Every structure is written in C-alpha cells, then in structure tokens.
Amino acid sequence: MVESESPQLDAIFHALGDPTRRQMLRALSEGERSVGDLAAPFDISLAAVSKHIKALEKSGLIRREVRWRTHVCRLNPVALANAHEWLSFYEGFWNSRLDALEDLLRKECDTTPSTPKGDDA
C-alpha cells in the first residue's frame, strides 16, 4: 500500500496536474525522446521545457540520461504504478457507492406500480 502522506506521491500528483507534463508523459509512453523532441510540440521556451522535465524527474515519473550532448528521457512506469495503487482505493469506494445506488434504484423500480400507457381514466 502506498502511503497517503508520501513526498513522492505529492510530487507525482503535482507533476500530473499540468497538461504540458501529461502530454510529455504521453509521448514518452511511445518510447524515449530527446528533450528537443519533447519540446517540439509546445510553443514554450526551452527553459520552460526544462522546468517541466525537472518536475517529472523529481516525481520519479521519468528518467533522464545524457548521451554525448543529447539529454534523453524515458518513462518510469513504477511511479505511475504507485499513483494508480493509491487511486485504486477510491475506485473501490466509488464502485461500492454506485452499486448501493443501483440496488436502491432497482428496489424503488420494483415497488413502484407501473401505469399502462394511454390509460386516461
């Protein structure tokens, strides 16, 4: 079980809270990319891209390595698995609540007499 009060979990959800970083993660799910490749779809400075990449690194969502003069990033799925594990508790919570609602609605539907259509009595 992932601890609720975890600095890494805080960093993961902080990193996932930004749409640019989520797009970068999506691109990295298809394979490793250079920093330049990650920056290409965005109309932002390389300094801004660097800040996004640092947030992703800090959270553990990506790993970066230097190959000669090129910085290459790749997805670290373990960090995403930790976030998924934490969220799965709430998935169970909502599933049980929705199941209870469904049961209630079925009981209400079963006890409510139906009126025939077209009956204007």
- In CATH terms, the fold of domain 1-110 is Arc Repressor Mutant, subunit A (1.10.10)
Structure-token match 């539907």, residue found: 109
DSSP code at position 116: P
Structure confidence by residue, pLDDT tens digits, 38-58: 999 999 998 999 999 999 999
Report the distance separating Cα 113 and Cα 24, nearest Å.
Answer: 55
Which tens digit of pLDDT belongs to each residue from 84-116?
Answer: 888 888 888 887 878 888 888 888 888 877 666
